[in-house]
Amino acid sequence: MIDAIEPVFLETDGWERVYVDLPGHGRSSGAGINSQDDVVASITEFARTFERPISLIGESRGSLIAHAIAQVSDIPLSGVCLIVPGGDDPDSIKPLHQTLVPDSEIAKGLDPAVLQRFKRLVVQNAELAEKIAQNKIPAAAMADAETASRISENFHPTLPTAPGTVPCPSLIISGRQDAIAGWSDAISLSRQYPRATFAVLDESGHSLSWERPEVFTALVRDWLARTSGNIS
């Protein structure tokens, strides 16, 4: 997340950023975490310590958590950004994987663990192979498999039967070729996020912040401006 999000702030001042290791990830313990509801409760408890409105950014599974917090907690939110949400429902519509910008020469020399993730990219190049090696592989090595297994048995957080609306400025971004999350689930959130910009980016998949960095950065900066009321 740091690698994906920090470039947005190179020309954007005035924001404190807090990158949270979800329970069972990074340096966060998974003790006592048995469901996605437990994860939501843990992150909600942490968010309360700020005692001021916050903006949430969640990517992939993190977007599931962010959406749940926006739906079930009373935390004051100034903005919500969901990156590549969806794909968890059996009825989710997902395109078949395709690599639109391949780089077979780079692929030949990659470590098998890197190559496995590299093959999932819609856009392939040397820079993204290095990002996988420097970011994805070390992060995966720090994940607690036992916690992940417990959560997987109760993966979907409990949401209201009648979903409420999230009135703050929002941004929901999906990749048109995302074979993991798809994009239809994201679009279905339109009524719940009446102040959301929705974007489905062609030539991008589940790693769209890496595959389309210029467009991604522009969209997030626009959201930050709307969130802080500084758009002109």
175-199: pLDDT as tens digits: 999 999 999 999 999 999 999 999 9
Instruction: Write out pLDDT tens, residues 94-144.
Output: 999 999 999 999 999 999 999 999 999 999 999 999 999 999 999 999 999
Chain-wide mean pLDDT for the chain?
95
- State mean pLDDT over 49-70: 95
Confidence of residue 88 (pLDDT cuts 50, 70, 90): confident
Q: What is the SS3 assignment for 167?
A: coil
For residue 94, give the nearest of 85, 81, 105 by alpha carbon.
Answer: 85
Whether the per-residue pLDDT at 230 is higher than 60: the answer is no
Are the beta carbons of 177 and 101 closer than 8 angstroms?
A: no
- The whole model's pTM is what? 0.95
What's the rounded Cα separation, in Å, for the pair 20 and 17? 10
The CATH fold assigned to 2-97+146-228 is: Rossmann fold (3.40.50)
Dihedrals phi, psi of 228, to nearest 5 degrees: -90, 0
Cβ(21)–Cβ(33) below 8 Å: no
